[in-house]
Amino acid sequence: MFIKQFYTNCLSEAAYYIESDGEAVIIDPLRDIQTYIDFAKEREVVIKYIFETHFHADFVSGHIDLSKQTGAPIIFGPNANTSYSIVSKKDGDVIQVGKISFEVIHTPGHTLESTCYLLHDEKNNPYAIFTGDTLFVGDVGRPDLSSGNMSREDLAEIMYQTIQNKILPLNDNILVYPAHGPGSSCGKNLGPNTHSTIGEQKQTNYALQPQTKEQFVTAVTSGLGSAPIYFAINASINQKGYDSIDEVITRGTKAISIKEFKKLITEQDVIVLDTRPVNSFTEGFIPGSIFIGLEGRFAEWAGTILPFDKPIILITEPKKEIESVTRLARVGFDKMIGYLQGGYTAWVEANEKIDLIIDVEADELIMDIPHDPNLTIVDVRKESEFIEGHLENALNLPLHEMTNITELAQFEDDQNLYIHCAGGYRSVIASSLLKRQGIHNLRNVLGGWNSIKTQEKASIKKGESIQSK
């Protein structure tokens, strides 16, 4: 028996490869499937099944493409109604793979079709459970993402029964392999590790502690922020199907000349997305471009901010075109129509008009505060971050709420905007959005809050939230 976790940091997502006696199972694969195919080929193993734990909301699964390329059937648990062919298993069913087996455990609560797969080793002993979004390290799946007309409280009550009847009776030594790790929005407080044991979770996970149903429902539903807007889109795609990623990459990696590029952005409502590093973007970019750099949580921010119904043209570093398209496709984008041939360098060499964002150090901001009556600090961190500490009189305009890219905020012409986040990535995204709206009197604070709070003269107020405009 052999188990490998394929972990993708930028999505906090874990897919799994489990092998026995020449046969393998892939659980919750990403949309770009070649990694799994190549890995199985290297090990001279046949992919026998593809297991899906539920309809994922935060990424598009590769189950359909992987099934087409390998012939392996797609396995779901109960209540999974799809627009493509699957094998639906019921609670308690056993699936044999080589010398090991998987028991299907229906675990509704996160979603109604959520299912875990309990791995029994060669001696038929329970060894590991692949929990999808039912059980995380330190948390359980949020009950408000994809469940029809049921309320979060209704699903939390179902989750309570799942935990009591399906999870807590498991042996303490069973390994826990969830679909997500820290940073995922599929839970509210995921721990720092990407695997655990049932015993550890019984001791440390708040949702597995002795409590009444009412206490559990309150604990699971309290403190849930709004789900990213693309979650519902991705869940629907995973249920209904999608274009082959090869087709998406072919369309998205078409080289577009400057002449054609200018024609497209003039005649169509096109999104120009710049995926270069943050420092390269602030030094110069094509006017109207939106920045979301590959070095950050790229796909999540793209899904949160960008519309899914508009064509996208990419500005990338050389040889980063495929990566940019692939990572967009992971969260359901399929309208990429190409990239600017030669990128930003070719644009500059053609003497086309450029824009830039002025960067300032944190100490410059602190020195300017007492002397500039028109200075406006725009803090684009989450409200929870803002409450923990912020500059006095700062305006909190969370980046995840800047979803209407045509009308983000209203500022006066004489306001001098200083934009910051925690470290300097989100603030550049926000700055590019504001510039696209026509707000140009702004500066990006390098190092963000991490640099600001080290300045001894910073006037920091804790425990207070200031309403955004």
The CATH number that applies at residue 252 is 3.40.250.10
Unique residue bearing structure tokens 């940019």:
324
Single out the residue of 424, 446, 440 nearest to residue 287, CA to CA: 440
Q: How many domains does the chain contain in total?
A: 3
Same domain, yes or no: 171 and 122: yes
Average pLDDT over residues 216-245: 92
Unique residue bearing structure tokens 């905020």:
409
Confidence bin at 224 (pLDDT 50/70/90): confident
467 falls within a domain: no
Tokens, residue 85: 């062919």
What CA–CA distance (Å, rounded) separates 235 from 233? 6
34 falls within a domain: yes
- In this predicted structure, what is the pLDDT of residue 95? 98
238 falls within a domain: no
Pick from 330, 349, 368: which residue ends a domain? Answer: 349
Pick from 349, 375, 392: which residue ends a domain? Answer: 349
Same domain, yes or no: 157 and 278: no
154 falls within a domain: yes
CATH number for position 125: 3.60.15.10
Single out the residue of 334, 333, 289 nearest to residue 314, CA to CA: 289
Same domain, yes or no: 164 and 297: no
Across-strand partners of 126? 120
CB distance 37 to 66 below 8 Å:
yes
DSSP 164: I
**406 pLDDT more than 70:** no
Confidence bin at 246 (pLDDT 50/70/90): very high
Same domain, yes or no: 401 and 339: no
What CA–CA distance (Å, rounded) separates 184 from 12? 6
68 three-state secondary structure: helix
Same domain, yes or no: 39 and 86: yes
pLDDT digits (tens, 9 = 90+) for 331-371: 999 999 999 999 999 999 999 999 999 999 999 999 999 99
Same domain, yes or no: 285 and 202: no
Same domain, yes or no: 227 and 374: no
Same domain, yes or no: 65 and 168: yes
Same domain, yes or no: 457 and 416: yes
**150 pLDDT more than 50:** yes
239 falls within a domain: no
Same domain, yes or no: 202 and 185: yes
What CA–CA distance (Å, rounded) separates 286 from 289? 6
469 falls within a domain: no
Same domain, yes or no: 320 and 408: no
Q: Which residues contact 276 (CB under 8 A, 6 or more apart)?
A: 291, 293, 294, 315, 316, 317, 320, 343, 344
Mean per-residue pLDDT over the chain, rounded: 93
Same domain, yes or no: 207 and 72: yes
pTM: 0.92
- In this predicted structure, what is the pLDDT of residue 468? 35
Across-strand partners of 420? 379
122 falls within a domain: yes
Alpha carbon 244 to chain centroid distance?
21
Q: Which residues contact 195 (CB under 8 A, 6 or more apart)?
A: 5, 137, 175, 176, 177, 178
466 falls within a domain: no
CB distance 200 to 253 below 8 Å:
no
Confidence bin at 467 (pLDDT 50/70/90): very low
Helices first, then strands: H and E counts in the chain: 16, 26
Alpha carbon 126 to chain centroid distance?
31
CB distance 391 to 431 below 8 Å:
no
The boundaries of the domain holding residue 417 are: 358-461
Pick from 298, 331, 349: which residue ends a domain? Answer: 349
Q: Checking DSSP bridges between strand 442-445 and strand 358-360, what pairing results, if any?
A: parallel
